[in-house]
Structure 1
């Protein structure tokens, strides 16, 4: 069972990640925000591609659900930390982090 401390530790271990307040949440970002942690530490919102979101929500509906409205249609997905193993949390963070990295310069 994962928790907020696991999320912080794993997110900070991803290269280039910074942590900062974001409204009533804590955001983790590289070039862009890829995950936010709720103030109560029970849930996190991950930025997945729509395909990743669909897969996660289908595979583990007890742990993942789209954020309501337009944010959810963009791939933002709420994860219930207590419903994930640490390995599942690590994979979710790595997937979200990949999309937040700066794009390589075209030559």
Structure 2
């Protein structure tokens, strides 16, 4: 299980990422653009992926990562089950989500394993 501190550490390790409130959740942004939120009560993160990346990640296991079941999901917003995801996969998902919204000059600084 991934806890909020682990997720926070990964998200904030990305260049110029910040943390702040987003509705009743905690959000992670680059500039004003949201790339992830965390819902502690539901032990779930939600990330912004391109539809192509959403398709790729969601083929892994639909109990671990799956599209938000509404119009937001069709735009790439994707839920991640923090009780089931491995840290290495969460790290890659957060990096991809970050690069989806980050300026190119910052996205180029992200190193993928």
Per the TM superposition, whether the score is higher than 0.5 is yes
Helix, strand or coil for the counterpart of 2:59?
helix
The runs of at least 4 consecutive aligned structure 1 residues that moved more than 3 Å come to none
Residues 2 and 49 of structure 1, relative CA distance in 2, 3 Å threshold: same
Which sits farther off after the overlay, 19-28 or 30-39?
30-39
Structure 1 Cα separation of the partners of residues 76 and 6 of structure 2: 23
TM-score between the two structures when normalised by the length of structure 2: 0.85
Residues matched between the structures, number = 104
Q: Is the 8 A contact 1:35 1:47 kept in 2?
A: yes
RMSD, aligned α-carbons: 1.4
Which sits farther off after the overlay, 34-43 or 85-94?
34-43
Deviation at 1:41, TM superposition (A): 6.2
Deviation at 1:3, TM superposition (A): 2.2
TM-score between the two structures when normalised by the length of structure 1: 0.90
Structure 2 Cα separation of the partners of residues 61 and 39 of structure 1: 20
